Structure 1
Amino acid sequence: MPASPSTARAINDRLALRLLQRDGPLTAGQLKQQTGLSRPTVADLVERLTDAGLITVVGEAGEQRRGPNAKLYGIVADRAHLAALDVRTEGVAVVVCDLVGQVLAEASAPIGGETGTGPAVEQSVALVERVAKEAGAEELHTVGIGAPGLVDPASGELRDSTGLPEWHRRLVAAVQERLPAARVHVENETNLAALAEQRDGVARDRDTFVLLWLGGGTGAAVVLDGRLRRGASGGTGEIGFLPVPGTGTLPTATDCGGGFHSLAGAQAVADLAAAYGLHARATGGEPHAATLVRRAADDVAVDGTHLPVPGSGPGPGPGTAADRREAPGGPGRGGEEPAGHGPQVVDAAGFLDALADRVALGAASVVAVLDPGCVVLGGEVGQAGGSALAERVEQRLRRLSPLPTEVRPSALGGTAVLRGALLTARDRAQDELFTTGER
């Protein structure tokens, strides 16, 4: 049955707005060419969208022709302001942008573990209000929040998760209370990172892939046939609880200790690095585990080391002459020599080999069940490892699984959560504003 005139107009409007969003300002002629619509239909939709305050004339086409130049139409960027939050156990980052996604203001604030629930919530909401003011936003249309933990697929609320600060759950309600006009949405941080990698990162050419989050904690996000999969309870990808060999114990329903988290979480990575003689002071706000992995990857790249045959033990292996060297403590090499132990032997390649052994255990389990064809090593640690770590993990997956799987390092790292939250907020706002009947 053919669409009604009002439905057809709504479809045409949305198509034109998506083109303007994707390609920037366009003339009516360019809209006609790209949409395939007739000239009168394009003229009607341009007038309709202009009257609705969604598009406006932003300039003229630079064509050399007789008569006046064609008008260029663009989306009214300040039609709505959006905010995105990346909520971590140690702090909050906030960014505010306009309707086309241009960042107008951003800031972050640490929140110490000793901070009470009330003060932590107030500090976070105040940060959102301050950044919005700096961006010149009198009102926020949509707020996207990325947080660790489970998001209930039915209610859309962040569920109570053992080990996470109470202020995380309170924050969502507090933002909605202080910003009553805003549409507030919360999503698991790893899911948002996957969406960002799919739109702007290393998975742009993939409609099926898994993002393995390696940061303070561990997690996974699953994208199948272009769609993010959350599971019946919102827990798809809680890989930190995955039982794996080498931990000496098993995880429980309330504690991921003994699971994959115990092998690949930030503290486990730092402990493993120390066993191979790697020590580094955190720099530029980068998590300590990521700094260690980045140093190892840089050292291997400088040495020109080829991928060795994977080792079998968790401790320091023989490596190569280029990989094993004595590194005195102190800032000269970024090391911190333990008191009373003299020079340490730094085995960067051996550390990356051992870390890849661990990461591959979790990745192989996901690959065996989902056959995604591609695994992205996300989070700060995944990005810091770069191709040196990704290639090692891929090599091990070839030995562990008959399913061909490409492993790619994240292009966005820890910034992917904030980027994903911003993309989600923008999509939701545009879905509402770009629908004629809901303006």
Structure 2
Amino acid sequence: MPASPSTARAINDRLALSLLQQEGPLTAGQLKQLTGLSRPTVADLVERLTASGLITVVGESGEQRRGPNARLYGIVADRAYLAALDVRTESVSVLVSDLVGRVLAEGSAPVVPEEGEAAAVEQAVELVERAAKEAGASGDAGRLHTVGIGAPGLVDPATGELRDSAGLPAWHRRLVAALQERFPQARVGVENETNLAALAEQREGAAQDRDTFVLLWLGNSCGAAVVLDGSLRRGASGGTGEIGFLPVPGTAGLPTATDCSGGYHSLVGAAAIVELAREFGLGSGGSTAANLVAEAAMDAPHRGAGRIDMRLRRVGATGHDGAAEGYRPNPAHARFLDALADRIALGVAAVVAVLDPGCVVLGGEIGPAGGAALATRVEARLRRMSPLATEVRAGTLGGAAVLRGALLTARERAQDELFAAPDR
């Protein structure tokens, strides 16, 4: 059954808007070429979208740069403002962008849970308010349209709400309602932080060529996100990827329903990695897991000359040829990476045996810190443990992946609503 005229117009409009989002400003002729639509149809949709306030003339193209055929049309970026939040246990980061994703303001602040839930929520909300004001998204002329939040814990797939999970701050759940109250016109949504990181790595990072992969988050805690055939999988209760609870050998006990300290988390969480480094005589009192892994990866065998130079500069060496030639790697770094890869491979092998994703991305702060040195070690162990061919890659976005993923989902939600709005 052929589409009705109104349905056809809606499809054509959304196609044109998607192209303008992906390609940037285009002329009517370029829209005609990319969409395959007729010239009159393109002229109609350009007029319709312009009248609705979704697109406007942003410049001219061509050598002569004049006349209607040279007009460049672009999405009206300030039609809507978006906020993205990365909510951690004791901190919040935020950025505010326009409708095309251009970042206009950003900031971060520590949150002190000991001061109470109300104070923690207020600190987070005030950070968002300051960023929105700086971006020009706080007055009548422009307000936040959509707020995307990335937080640890389970998100109920039926309600979209952050579930009450043991070990997570209670203020996390209160934050959503507080933001909705402070920004009543905004659409506020929350998603698991690891899921958002996977979406960001797929769009902008290490998994851009993959529609099926698993992201393993390695940070203060561990988690996994599963993308199959281009779709994020959340599971019946929103718990797909709660790999920290996976029972594995090498831990002191078994995890419980309220505590993952006996599971995979006990091997690859940041605190466990710091303790592992100490067993090899590495690190000092203030060393973070990501810094320890980065230092070991930089010093690991098969490193490039550039990595040697980076290390020499970091430790204050002169970097001249004699210093580079005289430098000898610390063998404890390689042994530490080998031991860490053994631990990581246990969880990866379990995921691969069940899902066969073909690709695993090591994300969070620690995966990118280990880079290829850590990823190749994990992949080598995986080849010995599993008959299923799996590529292991280091993530490229690091801890910033959560904010990027939150922004991408907020932008998609806003565009889904606004791009369906033109009068027919």
Q: Normalization by structure 1: what TM-score?
A: 0.88
For residues 166 and 66 of structure 1, do their structure 2 counterparts lie closer, same or farther at Cα, with a shift above 3 Å needed? closer
- Among candidates 372, 383, 388, match of residue 387 of structure 1: 372
d(CA) in 2 for partners of 1:302, 1:110? 39
Matched, 1:231 2:216: no
**What is the CA deviation profile of residues 304-327 of structure 1, one whole-angstrom value per residue up to 9, with x for unaligned ones?**
69xxxxxxxxxxxxxxxx9xxxxx
Matched, 1:198 2:202: yes
**What is the CA deviation profile of residues 90-113 of structure 1, one whole-angstrom value per residue up to 9, with x for unaligned ones?**
200000000000000000001134
d(CA) in 1 for partners of 2:9, 2:263? 53
TM-superposed CA distance for 1:297, in Å, is: 0.7
Q: Is the 8 A contact 1:290 1:384 kept in 2?
A: yes
Q: Is the 8 A contact 2:28 2:69 kept in 1?
A: no
d(CA) in 2 for partners of 1:84, 1:212? 22
**What is the CA deviation profile of residues 167-217 of structure 1, one whole-angstrom value per residue up to 9, with x for unaligned ones?**
111101111111110000100000000000000001000000000000010
Matched, 1:70 2:76: no
Matched, 1:366 2:312: no
For residues 281 and 434 of structure 1, do their structure 2 counterparts lie closer, same or farther at Cα, with a shift above 3 Å needed? farther
Which residue of structure 1 aligns with residue 273 of structure 2? 269
TM-superposed CA distance for 1:69, in Å, is: 5.6
d(CA) in 2 for partners of 1:210, 1:249? 26
TM-superposed CA distance for 1:220, in Å, is: 0.2
Which residue of structure 1 aligns with residue 16 of structure 2? 16
Q: Is the 8 A contact 1:196 1:423 kept in 2?
A: yes
Alignment of 1:199-348 (within 5 A): 199-280=203-284, 288-300=288-300, 347-348=332-333
3-state secondary structure, aligned to 2:13 = helix
3-state secondary structure, aligned to 1:193 = helix
Aligned partner of 2:153: which letter? G
d(CA) in 1 for partners of 2:379, 2:302? 21
Aligned partner of 2:381: which letter? R
Equivalent pairs, count: 400
Which residue of structure 1 aligns with residue 421 of structure 2? 436
Which residue of structure 1 aligns with residue 340 of structure 2? 355
Q: Is the 8 A contact 2:29 2:69 kept in 1?
A: no
**What is the CA deviation profile of residues 243-288 of structure 1, one whole-angstrom value per residue up to 9, with x for unaligned ones?**
0000020000000011000000010000001111111575xxxx81
Which residue of structure 2 aligns with residue 406 of structure 1? 391
Structure 1 gaps, min length 5? 306-321, 323-330, 334-344
Q: Is the 8 A contact 2:113 2:120 kept in 1?
A: no
Q: Would you tell me which structure has more helix in proportion to its own residues?
A: 2
Q: Is the 8 A contact 2:301 2:334 kept in 1?
A: no
Matched, 1:38 2:23: no
Aligned partner of 1:368: which letter? A
Q: Identity of aligned pairs, percent?
A: 76
d(CA) in 1 for partners of 2:417, 2:151? 24
Which residue of structure 1 aligns with residue 407 of structure 2? 422
Alignment of 1:115-154 (within 5 A): 115-138=115-138, 139-154=143-158
d(CA) in 2 for partners of 1:438, 1:275? 66
d(CA) in 2 for partners of 1:7, 1:399? 54
Q: Is the 8 A contact 1:13 1:436 kept in 2?
A: no
d(CA) in 2 for partners of 1:205, 1:194? 13
d(CA) in 2 for partners of 1:144, 1:98? 13
d(CA) in 2 for partners of 1:267, 1:83? 31
TM-superposed CA distance for 1:154, in Å, is: 0.4
**What is the CA deviation profile of residues 61-80 of structure 1, one whole-angstrom value per residue up to 9, with x for unaligned ones?**
12348966611100000000
Higher mean C-alpha deviation, range 113-122 or range 358-367: 113-122
